[in-house]
């Protein structure tokens, strides 16, 4: 029966990885794989376990209790993401991100590279690397008209956005997973991973800024756009501040992060309703042709724009990995891996390389089930760094890369030839920095 379970998981995983070739959204194999795995466990009456981290052993349990436990843990992540996505959409409703375009005043390509890279690094730490990439490439399309130049900038945004997301508990889905699972705390994550992430950003940008692609100036004049809402800047700073507030709320109250995110959403939504002059009826929406202007609550509009396919994908993949964890497979594989490769640094770096080939979400979900180290063990911080930045080495290796690929129609092999080596030296430089910083600075 173990062979059938592994075959189903690998088949589902392969379908997720080949999403673009199969022309099937990855949420479909993820949900199917999850349902089939748990159905096999139930029909075959297989023994399920919970991992006791303190005793480092498997404890027998009942399938209903195990499934409910994993559903609860997954729901914490999904509700948190729903709140964050809605706040971002409310900011966008008021065209708040247009404020960022006001910072761009130079035409020199090398200066623009540093400006976009720093913006990507900082923004992704707050609104996550996927959203930061969407925002910055949208601005990029308005600032740079030449497509070839824009592709280079988009490639560097992917690297720097992923680097920025790795050191923040709200910057990447994988770091959020580790934070919610109580594997890392916000302050310790920043302490361990900020410096390696900065190195991971700076080294590729230094190399790139010396290349021919970023020499000279861009063509054209900056267009002054008509301001869509006078409250845009206010909603941008309020929304970003509300998201940053969440880790502080968790630290003070010790409540799960989604509670703080719901409070932040309530505050932002209140201001959105006050600032909006729109009118709406709970049972009927007028003006459906353009629901972003009038006749509609900004909160309702924002909720209709959030990316539900991603939420369903996370539900499927996290519960599928939970099935392998509940059967004890991940725990046993970790023991075998530690025996085969005693150096955990090499194992974690291989995780990073693996996240460039396959999705980093299931890799981190698997690592949570594989390792039973205590909270804030350096292993978890290294996993956060590797999974967050390793995906930059291939354009399909991260959510930021995939969305940039779609927005700019970036060719897989163009990225592999032009950008992948920059991402690789950034990843390795940051990993070496992490190891040195951990061994010689933090632990003497």
Mean of per-residue pLDDT scores for the chain: 87
The pTM score is: 0.85
pLDDT at 240: 94
Residue 167 has which token pair?
């050191």
pLDDT of residue 396: 81
- The more confident residue out of 79 and 58 is 79
- Distance of CA 437 to CAs 192, 269, 432, Å? 8, 41, 8
For residues 116 and 276, the model is more confident at 116
Average of per-residue pLDDT across 391-413:
87
What mean pLDDT comes out for the span 300-307? 89
Lowest-pLDDT range of 131-140, 160-169, 204-213, 326-335? 326-335
For the purposes of burial, counting CB atoms within 10 Å of the CB of 33, is it exposed (0-12), middle (13-18) or buried (19 or more)?
A: buried
The per-residue pLDDT for 234 is 93
> Which residues have CB under 8 Å from 162's CB, separation 6+?
124, 129, 172, 388, 389, 391, 392, 398, 400, 401
* pLDDT for 237 beyond 70: yes
Closest residue by Cα to residue 389 from 359, 434, 435, 352: 352
| Of 94, 89, 131, 96, the residue nearest 302 (C-alpha) | 89
- pLDDT at residue number 293: 45
- The position carrying tokens 């900056």 is 222
4-12 mean pLDDT? 93
Asked if residue 186 has pLDDT above 80, the reply is yes
Q: Give residue 422's Cα distance to chain centre.
A: 20
CB distance 128 to 173 below 8 Å: yes
The percent of residues in the chain predicted with pLDDT above 90, rounded, is 54
For residue 286, pLDDT beyond 60: no
pLDDT top residue among 336 and 280: 336
Q: What token pair was written down for 323? A: 């099935």
The lowest-confidence range among 92-101, 162-171, 228-237, 285-294 is 285-294
Q: Is the pLDDT of residue 295 over 50?
A: no
Q: Is 290 exposed, middle or buried (0-12, 13-18, 19+ CB in 10 A)?
A: exposed
Mean pLDDT of 177-201: 95
């Amino acid at each position: 029966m173990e062979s059938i379970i592994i075959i189903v998981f690998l088949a589902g995983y392969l379908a997720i990885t080949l999403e673009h070739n199969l022309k099937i959204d990855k949420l479909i194999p993820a949900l199917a794989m999850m349902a089939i795995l748990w159905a096999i466990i139930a029909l075959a009456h297989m023994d399920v376990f919970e991992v006791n981290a303190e005793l480092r052993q498997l404890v027998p349990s009942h399938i209903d209790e195990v499934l409910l436990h994993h559903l609860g843990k997954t729901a914490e992540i999904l509700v948190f993401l729903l709140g964050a996505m809605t706040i971002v959409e409310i900011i966008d409703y008021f065209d708040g991100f247009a404020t960022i375009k006001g910072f761009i005043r130079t035409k020199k390509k090398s200066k623009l590279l540093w400006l976009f890279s720093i913006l990507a690094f900082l923004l992704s730490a707050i609104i996550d690397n996927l959203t930061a990439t969407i925002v910055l490439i949208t601005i990029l399309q308005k600032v740079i008209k030449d497509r070839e130049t824009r592709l280079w900038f988009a490639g560097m945004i992917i690297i720097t956005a992923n680097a920025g997301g790795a050191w923040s508990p709200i910057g990447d889905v994988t770091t959020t997973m580790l934070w919610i699972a109580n594997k890392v705390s916000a302050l310790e994550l920043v302490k361990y991973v900020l410096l390696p992430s900065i190195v991971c950003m700076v080294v590729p940008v230094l190399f790139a800024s010396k290349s021919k692609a970023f020499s000279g100036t861009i063509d054209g004049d900056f267009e002054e756009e008509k301001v869509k809402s006078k409250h845009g800047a206010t909603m941008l700073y309020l929304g970003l501040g509300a998201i940053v507030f969440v880790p502080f709320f968790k630290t003070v109250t010790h409540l799960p992060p989604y509670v703080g995110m719901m409070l932040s959403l309530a505050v932002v939504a209140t201001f959105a309703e006050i600032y909006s002059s729109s009118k709406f009826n709970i049972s009927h929406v007028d003006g459906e042709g353009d629901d972003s202007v009038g006749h509609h609550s900004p909160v309702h509009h924002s909720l209709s724009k959030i990316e539900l396919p991603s939420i369903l994908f996370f539900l499927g993949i996290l519960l599928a990995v939970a099935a392998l964890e509940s059967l004890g497979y991940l725990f046993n594989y970790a023991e075998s891996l530690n025996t085969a490769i005693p150096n955990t640094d090499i194992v974690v770096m291989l995780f990073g390389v693996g996240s460039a080939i396959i999705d980093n979400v299931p890799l981190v979900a698997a690592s949570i089930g594989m390792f039973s180290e205590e909270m804030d063990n350096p292993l978890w911080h290294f996993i956060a760094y590797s999974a967050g930045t390793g995906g930059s080495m291939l354009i399909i290796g991260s959510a930021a890369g995939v969305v940039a690929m779609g927005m700019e129609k970036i060719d897989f092999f163009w990225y592999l030839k032009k950008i992948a080596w920059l991402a690789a030296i950034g990843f390795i430089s940051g990993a070496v920095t992490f190891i040195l910083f951990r061994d010689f600075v933090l632990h003497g």
